[in-house]
Chain A
Amino acid sequence: MKSPSRNGKIVEVDDLKMYFPVTRGLLRHKVADVKAVDGVSFHIKRGETLGLVGESGSGKTTVGRCIMRLYQPTSGHIIFEGQDISQLSEHQMRPLRSRMSLIFQDPYGSLDPRQSAGSIVGEPLKVFHLANSRQEYRERVEELFRIVGLDPSMMDRVPHEFSGGQRQRIGVARALASNASLLICDEPISALDVSIQAQIINLLEELQERLKRLTYLFIAHDLSVVRHISDRIAVMYLGRIVEVTDRKTLYENPLHPYTKSLLSAVPVADPFLEEKRKRIILKGEIPSPLTPPSGCNFHPRCPMAISKCKKEVPPLRDTGGGHEVSCIRV
């Protein structure tokens, strides 16, 4: 189900910046900043799936963690369900944490090896006092197990007795436990076998259909998967969003040269078409976020770059129909 917005925006991110200081010496004075996220703005509508793609080091995970307020953003605003959460204290954040959850990339590291599957899934229930009795708690955990397709009789097993796919299902069940409306999926399938990936993707889609108003921020680097699951897609490069649009437009009519080169790297299943596929190969590596290039930070690798690109930071502008691009040559 790919439904457009119903009740407006669940998350609005405005000019978000997250710099991590690099410190040196005995007194830990700051020598530089790693500009992990450098002025990112976007929104997610309630009930939709926003795909966030980019190569490793582009700041996708940091954006997700800023929204979860696991990091204190350097500047900018994050509006979650109408409330600016960017400056809230941990104490003020706590009640909001039941409304958003995180699904992790690594199904091995994200589950405490010393806890049983049942207590991992049930932990949010305890943290937010969502179960009034032990009976209710147990029933709720069993229900969560069933929702994600696990047998409730496996509740007392510990994580290492499960397969990777099952572990990821436990992670999903935990994320659902507190009735969150926003699920931030941080590369939830990239650590799984290909055959299991589809299962988890289908599970996430099914859940969205069943539990209406569930919103996903789906962070990934696999373009085919993102295409499959997302309603809209944002492409990140070196801490900035270069292009945002709906799924169809992005794949059929990408405007930013970076998006074009990314899409040209996706193999096609048809061997005849695959032979004709033209690849745009970028030169060089992604620059370090410690010393990002001036102006448009894609210019050193851009096939269309002109001298003006070195000086001006291109703003993200709407080219019509909600298709936003940050490139002066488009």
Chain B
Amino acid sequence: MQRTDMTETPLHASEFRRIMKVLFSRGVVVFGIVVILALFVTAIFAPWIAPYDPYKLDLNQTLVQPCKEHLLGTDALGRDTLSRIIFGTRTSLMVGVVAVCIAASVGMTMGLIAGYFGRWVHAIIMRFIDALMAFPVILLALVIAVLLGGGLRNVMIALGIGLLPAYARLMCGQVLSVKENDYFLAGRAMGAGNLRIMFRHVVPNCFPPLIVLITMMMGLTILAEAGLSFLGIGIEPPGAAWGAMVNDGYQYLLTHPILSFAPGFAIMLVVFSFNMVGDGLRDALDPRLRGVL
């Protein structure tokens, strides 16, 4: 009865079980979930998992090929690649989570307001969103990051702004379709206030596709962060980020390909996992596939 709006999963228990069943019956989805969980564990426990200090230079051991002491070798400054990849997990996940949170919260609020109030409010907000959408995400993030200056925090803000249009558009569309339902009219007819209708009736019914988008966007955001740090915008030099590692390593691509390939593979694995889980969620939440899956 006293259900709070958006925090609790709005899905009904039996429906929730069905979704879980569909999700876990797929190999790649389970694989993706396992990888994502492992990634979070790695990020949290990085100092204990990493065999070496990722920042420690060892000029006697530069560009070591993979061996027993250094499983993935060392880079030009003698830092252990594996340890740097493990610490890079922190950067990637943090940027991913924070940027997606910024994009989702701001974008969804804008979409909710635009869709709910319609008319000129809709026109103003959505034209602004269209303007943002006109630029490629990376380019937009690049410009914002340059304007704000480098650093992890600004990259997160830049990506958050760059990815916001997708959420705003989807949310707006969802709100418009929920508004067509009679229960929306019922709320208005009984004189319920705007906030009550929004958070009690509209938002909970908008959620399923947004959950999918959030999952899929995690992969995209991490990829975008890697792209930005490859381009040299993002984390400051000693810090470990996968994109920056790919960039550092590619000067030695012919002799020491592992330096670029290892972080590249990590990026690929993460993006693939998030996409697979997102795909699985999309199918599981699609009411048209209910019964088929």
Contacts and interface: CB of A to CB of B under 8 A. Distances in A.
Are chains A and B native binding partners rather than an unrelated pairing?
A: yes
A160 B290 CA distance: 14
Interface of B: 1, 3, 10, 12, 181-183, 185-193, 196, 200-201, 204-205
B189 A111 contact: no
Contact of B192 (A111, A113, A114, A123): A123
A101 B200 CA distance: 20
Nearest to B190: A124
A227 to B, nearest CB: 26
A216 interface: no
Contacts of A98: 190-191
A104 B182 contact: yes
Q: Is the interface of A mostly helix, strand, loop or mixed?
A: loop
Given A70-B189, A94-B191, 8 more contacts: A70-B185, A104-B182, A110-B182, A113-B205, A119-B3, A128-B191, A155-B1, A158-B12
B181 A178 contact: no
A273 B192 CA distance: 52
B12 A102 contact: no
Contacts of A106: 182
A116 interface: yes
Contact of B188 (A70, A112, A115): A70
Contacts of B185: 70, 102, 104, 110
Interface of A: 68, 70, 93-95, 97-98, 101-102, 104-106, 109-116, 118-119, 122-124, 127-128, 155-156, 158, 160, 174, 178
Contacts of A104: 182, 185-186
A83 to B, nearest CB: 15
Given A127-B196, A156-B1, A101 B190 contact: yes
Contacts of A94: 191
Contacts of B12: 158, 160
A112 B183 contact: yes
B25 to A, nearest CB: 23
Contacts of B204: 112, 114
A135 B201 CA distance: 24
A79 to B, nearest CB: 19
B1 A174 contact: no
Given A114-B10, A115-B200, A116-B1, A109 B191 contact: no
A97 B1 contact: no
Contacts of B10: 114
Contacts of A174: 186, 190
Contacts of A114: 10, 201, 204-205
Indicate the member of A94, A114, A118 with the most B CB atoms within 10 Å. A114
Contacts of B1: 116, 118-119, 122, 155-156
Nearest to A159: B183
B200 A97 contact: no
A97 B190 CA distance: 6
A123 B182 contact: no
Nearest to B201: A112
Contacts of A68: 189
Rank and list the top 9 A-B pairs by shortest CB-CB distance, nearest first: A97-B191, A110-B182, A109-B182, A114-B204, A112-B183, A102-B189, A114-B10, A104-B182, A94-B191
